[in-house]
């Protein structure tokens, strides 16, 4: 029965895809050729003959590529779709040329002539879908992007074989049309939307109003971007997922329609009801299908459709009732509003709610939601499957198709972290689960551009039937490709990282990167980590040892900086422990020494080394936000959105430091002053013999935090100083002093 339901879902989607014509094969091939030119330059791209042939996947219907030629001839890359051809091109670059494509910069030294493929190599993915994005990625990573940056990302997606992805830009512009048509005033609409950096939560009904309003120019620019994004995704044969109505409405709807039946939901994320407690329309209210279909009709009129729609009614939101009949009605209403406009609609649902509030979502509540939509028409993202899979305890989502997703990252934090063993085993185990309805793999981080090794593995698993057999060998070759040359010390460093920071398992992974460095100081900070810190320090030593050979590799310099950053993060924990112990034992001299190193030496040194790399600059981060603006007033709004997101998150530190980043400028002007204030407060407490008062400190430190957010100070957007030189200085100073002691 389950298999049949999945077949139905796939049937619908394949039907939609079958509508693509021979002309689309040519269009998709052209898109991949253009990608190759962007990636390799026109001269080297000409060494590849790319074609798209649907017939390649005739038997399985699953994306397939085939590679042949090379040597004296051109390399022939054939794919059953544009995405499949792009994935084939990437496979060739990776496995035959030792190249590496990454967010932090690619290593694309192609051999002359191109290596021959000795025997035609044909590969079919076992997964119907390779999905990408989390609703939150839109806010934590993509928010300020222009087309040039989107283009790079869509190229990255195609090369990694992604064929299903959110395309959620510009939806507020459509909602604005709908609300105005319903009779809301412009100021009511403006009051409803959040600022750009918080739209992800506005869209899920968690927030409204906060950090807004959205300027007119924002809507125009996002509409423009969304058209280009969709056009490019479709040109590769990807399926973009559009948003749909989930049931949340602005309060002002009740002014226009006084008899409308809405329920005010509870607050979210420590925000008060000025910014949260959104209004949910009752599923039986006749306005539900009306608003839902008005939106979808207007959206698809503007953008066309590929028949998959995302909507999340209860994401981190407690439903007003736990009655299964209510939950079923609320779910069915969303789906019915979809099919009223698009009879072929498939609903993509984030399964996050089920694992986020397991006490609410008992078996009958989960069943009510999953069974309210016809089998095969609800496609569930098992969003955090590497850590808290839901398919195992819901009989494979009650027979609804699901995608095994790796979430990995929260808030775009920088700390080194990964559960590579669990990720490696997860998808294959999910496919073998009894009566499994798994139809794909997914990459669903809240923020990107960190811990690239984890994403490289997950992307590869999208095309593998079995786990990677030997992860040690895999990371060793990953390092070789990344730096363009296999180096024994770099390989050894990566194997140490694999067995430590990248081998998290179970509960230990949940609190990752809550390092004292990026947290508001207190005497209660938890310094426990799931790995042996010595492994990080030793990896640091080995990378420095490899520096004379590898220093010209941009990816190596990035990693050297990233591991230096991590080592400093570890050192901050160690000095913090020492300072805390000294304080508790009332040893003022030791407190001043250890605390002084932390606040006045280590953090400034970290800031200086981060400042050497354009990928770790607060200045660039904020400039990106300002560059998205059309006036100085907008630039100020966007910059403040960005500063809030990095630090206080809400007006009162509502989700304090959740989206922390280790950027030059942020360390010097935000994390450092906090630690200095803390150290002074502790020293003062010992000197005067009065107890340290956390509550008083919190009040004082909030002023510093707020001052940072409200400041308009400019930061450099150009790197300064030499990474290797400064990393070495930190190493020479601290490795013998602290590290050797703990080794
Ligand atoms: C919510 O918090 C904001 C900012 O902290 C404050 O200005 C507002 O009055 C509060 N609203 C309510 C309803 O308490
Ligand atoms: C309003 O909606 C709720 C939730 O669906 C329902 O229980 C209630 O009966 C409705 N009230 C009216 C007056 O229709
Ligand atoms: C799998 O499905 C079959 C056919 O519906 C059923 O008989 C069997 O009990 C299911 N197995 C499990 C473990 O749920
Ligand atoms: C990761 O940790 C597990 C135990 O949790 C262990 O069995 C495995 O060997 C480790 N993997 C590596 C690569 O160190
Ligand atoms: C510190 O964190 C670790 C790992 O997350 C956890 O096991 C431990 O209970 C925590 N310790 C305290 C005192 O909260
Ligand atoms: C951490 O690694 C070091 C060096 O390999 C070793 O001496 C030490 O015993 C390890 N510590 C733990 C807690 O395993």
**CB count in 10 Å sphere of residue 507:** 10
Q: Which CATH architecture has domain 513-531+546-742?
A: Up-down Bundle (1.20)
Is residue 107 helix, strand or coil?
strand
Question: Residue 28 has which token pair?
Answer: 């998709």
Ligand nearest to the CA of 4: 3
- Best mutation site among 492, 499, 501, 505 for ligand 4 pocket (most ligand atoms within 8 Å of CB): 499
| Helix axis angle, 22-45 to 216-235, nearest 10° | 90
Task: List CB contacts of 451: < 8 A, sequence separation 6 or more.
Answer: 408, 409, 416, 417, 418, 502
**pLDDT tens by residue, 50-96:** 999 999 998 889 999 999 999 999 999 999 999 999 999 999 999 99
Ligand 5 atom at minimum distance from 524 CA: 13
**pLDDT tens by residue, 528-578:** 999 999 999 999 999 999 999 999 999 999 999 999 999 999 999 999 999
Question: Residue 31 has which token pair?
Answer: 């898109």
Ligand 3 atom at minimum distance from 395 CA: 14
Please name the residue that has the structure tokens 């009511």: 188
Is residue 100 helix, strand or coil?
strand
Using the predicted structure, report yes or no on whether residue 2 has a pLDDT greater than 80: no
Using the predicted structure, report yes or no on whether residue 515 has a pLDDT greater than 50: yes
Q: Please tell me the predicted confidence (pLDDT) of residue 13.
A: 60
Is residue 665 helix, strand or coil?
coil
Rounded to 5 degrees, φ, ψ at 414 are -90, -20
Classify residue 148 by burial, with Cβ atoms within 10 Å: 0-12, 13-18, 19+. Answer: exposed
| Domain extents in the chain | 167-373, 513-531+546-742
1 falls in which pLDDT band (50, 70, 90)? Answer: very low
> Left, alpha or beta for 50 (phi > 0: left; psi -120 to 50: alpha)?
beta
Binding site membership of 332 for ligand 2 (Cβ less than 6 Å) = no
CA distance 194 to 202: 6
CA distance 533 to 539: 10
Binding site membership of 270 for ligand 1 (Cβ less than 6 Å) = no
Q: Residue 330 C-alpha to ligand 2 middle, in angstroms?
A: 11
CA distance 8 to 114: 43
Residue ranges of alpha helices (H) inside 586-671 are 588-596, 603-610, 618-627, 632-646, 666
Using the predicted structure, report yes or no on whether residue 166 has a pLDDT greater than 90: yes
Question: Residue 346 has which token pair?
Answer: 């498939």
CA distance 738 to 476: 28
pLDDT, average across residues 150-168: 98
Is residue 563 helix, strand or coil?
helix
Residue nearest to atom 12 of ligand 5 (CA): 526
Using the predicted structure, report yes or no on whether residue 678 has a pLDDT greater than 70: yes
Q: Residue 319 C-alpha to ligand 2 middle, in angstroms?
A: 14
> Left, alpha or beta for 529 (phi > 0: left; psi -120 to 50: alpha)?
beta
Using the predicted structure, report yes or no on whether residue 520 has a pLDDT greater than 80: yes
**CB count in 10 Å sphere of residue 104:** 18
Strands (E), 150-306: 164-166, 239-243, 248-249, 262-264, 279-281
Task: List CB contacts of 453: < 8 A, sequence separation 6 or more.
Answer: 418, 420, 475, 478, 494, 497, 502
> Left, alpha or beta for 667 (phi > 0: left; psi -120 to 50: alpha)?
alpha
Instruction: Kindly report the average pLDDT of the chain as a whole number.
Output: 96
Is residue 347 helix, strand or coil?
strand
Ligand nearest to the CA of 436: 3
Ligand 4 atom at minimum distance from 471 CA: 13
Please check whether residue 136 is in contact with residue 409, taking contact to mean a CB–CB distance below 8 angstroms: no
How far from each other are the two terminal CA atoms of the chain, in whole angstroms? 57
Using the predicted structure, report yes or no on whether residue 118 has a pLDDT greater than 70: yes
Residue nearest to atom 6 of ligand 2 (CA): 282
- Best mutation site among 523, 526, 529, 530 for ligand 5 pocket (most ligand atoms within 8 Å of CB): 526
Q: What are the C-alpha distances in Å from 140 to residues 52, 298, 466, 534, 643?
A: 35, 27, 32, 32, 12
6 falls in which pLDDT band (50, 70, 90)? Answer: low
| Ligand 3 cavity residues, CB under 6 Å | 1, 434-435
- Tell me the pairing of strands 64-69 and 48-52: unpaired
Q: Please tell me the predicted confidence (pLDDT) of residue 497.
A: 98
Using alpha carbons, select from 568, 642, 648 the residue that is nearest to residue 608.
Answer: 568
Please check whether residue 377 is in contact with residue 12, taking contact to mean a CB–CB distance below 8 angstroms: yes
pLDDT, average across residues 110-135: 97
DSSP, res 118:
S
| Ligand 6 cavity residues, CB under 6 Å | 532, 534, 743
Please name the residue that has the structure tokens 């091109």: 89
Q: Please tell me the predicted confidence (pLDDT) of residue 736.
A: 76
Residue nearest to atom 14 of ligand 4 (CA): 499
Task: List CB contacts of 426: < 8 A, sequence separation 6 or more.
Answer: 385, 386, 389, 404, 406
Ligand 1 atom at minimum distance from 652 CA: 5
What HEC string does 122-140 produce?
Answer: EEECCCCEEEECCCCHHHH
19 falls in which pLDDT band (50, 70, 90)? Answer: low
Ligand 2 atom at minimum distance from 321 CA: 4
Ligand nearest to the CA of 421: 4
**Does 98 or 735 have the greater pLDDT score?**
98
> Left, alpha or beta for 678 (phi > 0: left; psi -120 to 50: alpha)?
alpha
Please check whether residue 108 is in contact with residue 40, taking contact to mean a CB–CB distance below 8 angstroms: yes
Q: Which CATH class is domain 167-373?
A: alpha beta
Using the predicted structure, report yes or no on whether residue 604 has a pLDDT greater than 50: yes
The length of the chain in residues reads 743
Fold equal for 167-373 and 513-531+546-742: no
| Helix axis angle, 554-584 to 488-499, nearest 10° | 50
Residue nearest to atom 1 of ligand 4 (CA): 503
DSSP, res 265:
-
Binding site membership of 614 for ligand 1 (Cβ less than 6 Å) = no
Classify residue 79 by burial, with Cβ atoms within 10 Å: 0-12, 13-18, 19+. Answer: buried
Q: Please tell me the predicted confidence (pLDDT) of residue 598.
A: 98
Using the predicted structure, report yes or no on whether residue 740 has a pLDDT greater than 90: no
Q: Please tell me the predicted confidence (pLDDT) of residue 743.
A: 43
CA distance 156 to 101: 8
Ligand nearest to the CA of 525: 5
Please check whether residue 281 is in contact with residue 289, taking contact to mean a CB–CB distance below 8 angstroms: no
Task: List CB contacts of 736: < 8 A, sequence separation 6 or more.
Answer: none
The helix or strand, by DSSP H or E, that contains position 382, with its residue range, turns out to be strand 378-382
12 falls in which pLDDT band (50, 70, 90)? Answer: low
pLDDT, average across residues 23-45: 97
């Amino acid at each position: 029965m389950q298999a049949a339901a999945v077949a139905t879902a796939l049937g619908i989607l394949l039907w939609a895809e079958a509508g693509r014509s021979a002309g689309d094969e040519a269009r998709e091939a052209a898109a991949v050729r253009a990608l190759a030119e962007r990636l390799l330059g026109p001269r080297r791209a000409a060494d590849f003959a790319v074609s798209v042939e649907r017939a390649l996947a005739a038997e399985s219907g699953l994306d397939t590529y085939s590679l042949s030629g090379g040597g004296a001839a051109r390399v022939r890359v054939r794919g059953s779709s544009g995405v499949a051809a792009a994935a084939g091109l990437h496979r060739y670059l990776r496995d035959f040329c030792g190249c590496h494509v990454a967010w932090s910069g690619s290593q694309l030294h192609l051999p002359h002539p191109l290596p021959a493929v000795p025997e035609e190599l044909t590969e079919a993915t076992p997964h119907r879908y390779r999905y990408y994005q989390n609703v939150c990625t839109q806010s934590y990573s993509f928010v300020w992007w222009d087309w040039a940056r989107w283009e790079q990302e869509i190229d990255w997606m195609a090369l990694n074989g992604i064929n299903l992805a959110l395309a959620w830009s510009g939806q507020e512009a459509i909602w604005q049309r709908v609300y105005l048509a319903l009779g809301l005033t412009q100021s009511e609409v403006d009051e409803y939307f959040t600022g750009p950096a918080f739209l992800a939560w506005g869209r899920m009904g968690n927030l409204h109003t906060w950090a807004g309003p959205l300027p007119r120019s924002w809507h125009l620019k996002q509409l423009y971007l969304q058209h280009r994004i969709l056009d490019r995704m479709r040109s590769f044969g990807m399926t973009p997922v559009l948003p749909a109505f989930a049931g949340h409405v602005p309060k002002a709807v009740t002014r226009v329609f006084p008899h409308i039946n809405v329920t005010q939901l509870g607050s979210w994320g420590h925000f008060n009801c000025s910014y949260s407690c959104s209004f949910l329309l009752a599923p039986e209210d006749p306005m539900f299908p009306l608003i839902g279909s008005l939106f979808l009709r207007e959206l698809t009129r503007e953008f066309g459709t590929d028949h998959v729609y995302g909507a999340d009614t209860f994401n981190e939101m407690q439903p007003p009732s736990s009655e299964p009949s209510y939950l079923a009605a609320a779910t069915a209403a969303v789906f019915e509003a979809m099919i009223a406009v698009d009879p072929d609609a498939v609903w993509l649902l984030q399964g996050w709610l089920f694992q986020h509030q397991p006490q609410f979502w008992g078996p009958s509540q989960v069943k009510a939601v999953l069974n309210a939509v016809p089998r095969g028409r609800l496609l569930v993202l098992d969003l955090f499957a590497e850590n808290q899979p839901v398919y195992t305890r819901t009989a494979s989502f009650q027979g609804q198709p699901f995608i095994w997703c790796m979430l990995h990252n929260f808030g775009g934090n920088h700390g080194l972290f990964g559960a590579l063993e669990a990720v490696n085993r997860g998808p294959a185990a999910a496919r073998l689960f009894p009566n499994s309805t798994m139809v794909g793999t997914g990459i669903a981080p809240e923020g990107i551009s960190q811990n690239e090794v984890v994403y490289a593995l997950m992307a590869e698993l999208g095309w593998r039937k079995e786990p990677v057999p030997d992860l040690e060998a895999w990371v060793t070759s990953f390092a070789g490709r990344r730096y363009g040359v296999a180096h024994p010390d770099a390989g050894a460093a990566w194997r140490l990282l694999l067995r430590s920071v990248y081998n998290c398992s179970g509960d230990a992974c949940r609190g990752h990167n809550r390092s004292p460095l990026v947290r508001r100081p207190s005497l209660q900070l938890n310094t426990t980590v799931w790995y042996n810190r010595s492994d990080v320090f030793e990896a640091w030593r080995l990378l420095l040892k490899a520096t004379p050979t590898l220093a010209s590799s941009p990816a190596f310099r990035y990693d050297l900086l990233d591991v230096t950053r991590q080592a400093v993060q570890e050192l901050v924990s160690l000095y913090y422990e020492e300072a805390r112990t000294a304080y508790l034992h009332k040893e003022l001299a030791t407190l001043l020494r250890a605390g002084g190193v932390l606040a006045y030496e280590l953090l400034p040194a970290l800031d200086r080394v981060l400042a050497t790399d354009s990928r770790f600059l607060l200045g660039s981060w904020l400039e990106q936000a300002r560059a998205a603006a059309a006036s100085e007033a907008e630039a100020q709004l966007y910059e403040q959105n960005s500063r809030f997101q990095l630090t206080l998150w809400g007006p009162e530190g509502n989700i304090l430091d959740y989206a922390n980043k280790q950027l030059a400028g942020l360390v010097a002007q935000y994390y450092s002053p906090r630690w200095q204030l803390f150290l002074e407060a502790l020293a003062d407490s010992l000197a005067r013999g009065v107890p340290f008062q956390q509550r008083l400190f919190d009040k004082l430190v909030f002023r510093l935090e707020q001052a940072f957010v409200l400041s308009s100070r400019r930061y450099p957007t150009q790197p300064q100083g030499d990474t290797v030189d400064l990393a070495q200085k930190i190493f020479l100073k601290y490795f013998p002093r602290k590290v050797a002691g703990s080794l």
